[in-house]
Amino acid sequence: MITLNSALIVTAILFSLSLIGLVLNRHNLIVLLMCVELMLLAVNTNFIIFSHFLNDLAGQVFVFFILAVAAAEAAIGLAILILIFRKQKTINVSELNTLKG
Amino acid sequence: MFNFTLILPELFVLCMVCVVMLVDLFVEQRQQVLTYALTQLTLVGAAILTLCIYCIPTTANFSGLTVHDHLGSVLKLAIYITSFFVFLYSRNYFRQQNMGKGEPYLLGLCSILGMMVLVSAHNFLTLYLGLELMSLPIYALTALQRDKEQALEAAIKYFILGALASALLLYGLSMIYGASGSLDITQVANVIGANSTQHPLIFVFGLVFVVAGLAFKIGLVPFHMWLPDVYTGAPNAATLFLAVAPKVAVIGMTIRLLVECLPGLQVQWQELLIVISVLSMILGNFVAIVQTNIKRMLAYSTIAHGGYILLGFIAGTAAGYSAALFYTLAYAIMSLGAFGIITLLSKQGFDVETIEDLQGLNDRNPWLAFMMMLLLFSMAGLPPTIGFFAKLSLIEALVSTHFVWLACIAMLVAVIGVYYYLRVIKVMYFDKPLDNKPFSLAWDAKMAITINGLAILYFGIFPGALITLCQQLFWSGTMLN
Amino acid sequence: MTLLQFIFYVFSALMLLSAVGTIISRNPVHGALFLVVCFVASAGIWLMLQAEFLGLVLVLVYVGAVMTLFLFVVMMLNLDKLPSRAGFKKYWPFGILILLLLVGLMIYVVAPSHLSLASNAIAIPHPADYSNVQALGAVIYTQYVYAFEIAAVILLVAIIAAISLAFHAFHQDTKRQNISKQVQTTAAERLRLVKNMGKE
């Protein structure tokens, strides 16, 4: 059988990979959005693992709702991205520098 | 278990969202009077409904997904009142800056619904859904000025970092769920309380992520980098919206998570919060000194104020929590006024951005300058304003729990903070205006800003009622667990 | 190693490798496709964890709809050529360090000696006639109906926001239909009879 620790370690690696991708990525906004999706995937898998090992359905219900919200989030994110592309003809993060911070 | 009376305000706002949406679609109108009026009516109606059910004792509703208690009701009332003023201040701005037809009102109402869900959440699930329902419309609101590069950049930055914050929070919540086996706030608190001596390490691991997510959402060092950029880049009205009510809601969420759900891990989160709070107070106040952009300066002062609010949580007593809540409400009134004046001063094709834009405001509109001065005095924490009492009660709570050194740091940085607020006052009163035209306001905006400024003064002189209200919320009897 | 474990590790490796692919790929189309692989692999893991409904939803909704949306945007904006990854090259050792730190911490935290779950990591397999869909459906519309309604509002917000942001119809060069003109059209306008002048 799958053991709890190995499953949790896999999701931890996935979560930290996407976190690093998010922090280090300087070239493409769409990859940033994908990294956010990856993070949510890691969280979802985490909930499902716990739901399985606790024999509790609540975790799966939570994942159901996270999926719905993530879809909504992706739609809004892509809408903003399209606006930026229309305006600037680029989605390169390092070229978005009117705001210094 | 399913008591619909207790969620009447939410139901009302939801119905009105649909009404506003349809009315806005089918009514051909240039000025959007009807949409605006309906939006304000919604807020008034929701406030009346909330007051009607205020006295019903604390109950968990909808199988524990949501709770009706005084804390939630008070926070909701604060959200309605501040949002009412926000819409009032930004009405002209929305019209002049070409921010769509009724979309700003519609998105604002949706966001307010999210805040209501958030502050009365009693389960991680509703907490998360409320948080997202609050944030998603604000991302869109920030980007609504579609032809302004800065606004779009602020929107995408806000969006990415907001999503990151939610993901961090969720990761932490998943760990706490795994360790406790429940999503219900009371049940988690009971599981942690049951073995009060030894907590599995996984709780602490989850807690770190939860605190990081919260710090992101409040905008605290070291997770603050989005805040100055978003405040600066967003259209002034959007800045006004996201600086006021969402702050109250997020502090409400912090109370739900840290005080109601994880009191068993107080020792652990106290340590984390001390670091975050001290860093925020110091960085916020010092960096604000060198800013030339007024919105950016106020953004850094927001970071510092966030640090102050955390002090109440660090104290860890009922007095501390009520002081934190009092400070939050005081801060909401102050930032409402300050960002409100900035929004009111912006005209078509001209956004108030730098501090120089306020030059000689006293010559152009003495009353507005006087109100701004009151607000800035309050932010600096000078008597006889509400900001003074807010800081005082926090420091009292800290001293009574033997965090004297922390109280000293808070007072020292507050003194530094006075400098940059006074600089703005000096610019308003002693510099010559760039543009000599007197500036006049519509009657409703004038009345609103007057009420806002006098509220600062009134609660500064007679803070008793509000302080007592905040204290009652944290008496042991009123909480569910 | 049992067969189940082997399958789990295969799926995990696939998931992690495609996640790396998503993050480092230069071409966003490749990135999106890697992400699809990642989702499918994790759907496999979810199925093994007896979350059948969610595993299917992940494939149908995520891969089928959300990733299609991503690809659609990538293609529409024509984002195939991209600048160099200067930032990534400079900072990747830093990234590896964070990765090792986080994962090391996680391994330490979930070590069996520190982890004390209520039912210490023994999952009871469901009987053969157990329906995951039924079990979820039974709670979503009763116990979680409040959350369900809020999720519906969130989707409404997504619609409103996406339309109010990206809707461009009243721009001059946008092609659109004039419905009333279409409806009022008559047969005479649509059909023109011409005499066949060909050879008879």
Domain boundaries, chain B: 4-478
Q: Do A47 and B152 touch (CB under 8 A)?
A: no
Please tell me which of the candidates C110, C144, C164 has its beta carbon nearest to residue B202: C110
Strand partners of residue B121: B66
Distances B36 to B41, B42, B43, B140, B203 between C-alpha atoms, Å = 9, 10, 11, 19, 46
Is residue A24 situated within a structural domain?
yes
pLDDT at position A99: 60
Rg (CA), chain A: 17
Please tell me which of the candidates B21, B143, B178 has its beta carbon nearest to residue C165: B143
Using CA atoms, how far apart are residues C3 and A56, in angstroms rounded to an integer? 26
Q: How many other C-beta atoms can be found within 10 angstroms of the C-beta atom of residue C58? A: 26
How does strand B66-68 pair with strand B59-61? antiparallel
Give mean pLDDT, residues C167-178.
63
The more confidently predicted of residues C108 and B169 is B169
Q: Which two tokens stand for residue B136?
A: 């998603």
- Residue A11 belongs to domain spanning: 4-95
Q: Do B136 and C144 touch (CB under 8 A)?
A: no
Out of A81-90, B395-404, C76-85, C93-102, least confident range = C76-85
Please tell me which of the candidates C117, C143, C161 has its beta carbon nearest to residue B136: C161
The distance of A5 to chain C (nearest Cα, Å) reads: 6
Is residue A27 situated within a structural domain?
yes
Is residue A100 situated within a structural domain?
no
Is residue A101 situated within a structural domain?
no
Contact C95, A20 (CB under 8 A): yes
Q: Do B62 and C154 touch (CB under 8 A)?
A: no
Q: Do B167 and A84 touch (CB under 8 A)?
A: no
Q: Of A78-92, B417-431, C34-48, C115-129, give the range with the top mean pLDDT.
A: C34-48
Residue C119 has pLDDT above 50, yes or no: no
The DSSP 8-state label assigned to residue C50 in this structure reads: T
pLDDT at position A85: 86
The distance of B445 to chain C (nearest Cα, Å) reads: 27
Using CA atoms, how far apart are residues B129 and B51, in angstroms rounded to an integer? 25
pLDDT at position B31: 61
Dihedral sign of CA atoms B394, B395, B396, B400 in order:
positive
Which residue is closest to C147 within chain B, CA to CA? B126
Which of B450, B352, B435, B345 minimizes the C-alpha distance to B92? B345
pLDDT at position C85: 53
Contact A5, C110 (CB under 8 A): yes
Strand partners of residue B123: B184
Contact B309, B324 (CB under 8 A): yes
Q: Is the peptide bond before B463 cis (omega within 30 degrees of 0)?
A: no
Domain count, chain A: 1
B208–A contact, CB cutoff 8 A: no
The distance of C138 to chain A (nearest Cα, Å) reads: 11
For residue B16, what are the contacts with CB-CB under 8 A and spacing of at least 6? B38, B39, B41, B42, B45, B109
ipTM confidence: 0.94
Q: Which of residues 229-248 of B touch A (CB under 8 A)?
A: 229, 232-233
Each residue of B378-396: pLDDT tens digit? 999 988 899 999 999 999 9
Contact C11, C42 (CB under 8 A): yes
Per-residue pLDDT in tens (0 to 9) along chain B, 481 residues: 688 999 999 999 999 999 999 988 888 666 678 899 999 999 999 999 999 999 888 888 898 899 999 999 999 999 999 999 999 999 888 888 777 778 899 999 999 999 999 999 999 999 999 999 999 999 999 998 888 888 998 999 999 999 999 999 999 999 999 888 899 999 999 988 887 666 678 888 899 999 999 999 999 988 998 999 999 999 999 999 999 999 999 999 999 999 999 888 888 899 999 999 999 999 999 999 999 899 999 999 999 999 999 999 999 889 999 999 999 999 999 999 999 999 998 876 677 788 888 888 888 888 999 999 999 999 999 888 999 999 999 999 999 998 999 999 999 999 988 999 999 999 889 888 777 777 788 889 999 999 999 999 999 999 888 988 888 888 754 454 4
Q: Which of C26, C35, C116 to mutate to test the interface with A (most CBs of A within 10 A)?
A: C35
Which residue is closest to B131 within chain C, CA to CA? C154
Q: What letter represents residue A21's amino acid?
A: G
3-state secondary structure of A97: coil
The more confidently predicted of residues B341 and C120 is B341
Using CA atoms, how far apart are residues B83 and B448, in angstroms rounded to an integer? 12
Q: Do B21 and C161 touch (CB under 8 A)?
A: no
Which residues of chain B have a CB within 8 Å of the CB of A50?
Answer: 174, 177-178
Q: Which of C139, C142, C153, C168 to mutate to test the interface with B (most CBs of B within 10 A)?
A: C153
The pair phi, psi for residue B66, each rounded to 5°, is: -135, 160
- DSSP assignment of A33-73 equals HHHHHHHHHHHHHHHHHHHHHHT-THHHHHHHHHHHHHHHH
Each residue of B167-213: pLDDT tens digit? 999 999 999 998 888 999 999 999 888 876 666 788 888 999 999 99
- DSSP assignment of C117-157 equals -TTTT-PPPPPTT--HHHHHHHHHTTTTHHHHHHHHHHHHH
Rg (CA), chain C: 27
Using CA atoms, how far apart are residues B317 and C56, in angstroms rounded to an integer? 48
For chain C, the maximum distance between any two Cα atoms, rounded to a whole number of angstroms, is 97
pLDDT at position A101: 44
For residue B200, what are the contacts with CB-CB under 8 A and spacing of at least 6? B179, C114, C115, C116
Three-state SS letters, chain B? CCCHHHHHHHHHHHHHHHHHHHHHHHCCCCCCHHHHHHHHHHHHHHHHHHHHCCCCCCEEECCCCEEECHHHHHHHHHHHHHHHHHHHHHHHHHHHCCCCCCHHHHHHHHHHHHHHHHHCECEHHHHHHHHHHHHHHHHHHHCCCCCCHHHHHHHHHHHHHHHHHHHHHHHHHHHHHHHHCCCEHHHHHHHHHHCCCCCCHHHHHHHHHHHHHHHHHHCCCCCCCHHHHHHHHCCHHHHHHHHHHHHHHHHHHHHHHHHHHCHHHHHHHHHHHHHHHHHHHHHHHHHHHCCCEHHHHHHHHHHHHHHHHHHHHHHCCHHHHHHHHHHHHHHHHHHHHHHHHHHHHCECCECCCEHHHHCCHHHHCHHHHHHHHHHHHHHHCCCCCHHHHHHHHHHHHHHHCCCHHHHHHHHHHHHHHHHHHHHHHHHHHHCCCCCCCCCCCCHHHHHHHHHHHHHHHHHHHCCHHHHHHHHHHCCHHHCCC
pLDDT at position C79: 67
User: Which residue is it, tokens 């969130």?
Assistant: C154
- CATH number assigned to the domain comprising residue A58: 1.10.287.3510
Which residue is closest to A29 within chain C, CA to CA? C28
Using CA atoms, how far apart are residues B256 and B120, in angstroms rounded to an integer? 9
Using CA atoms, how far apart are residues B359 and B369, in angstroms rounded to an integer? 10
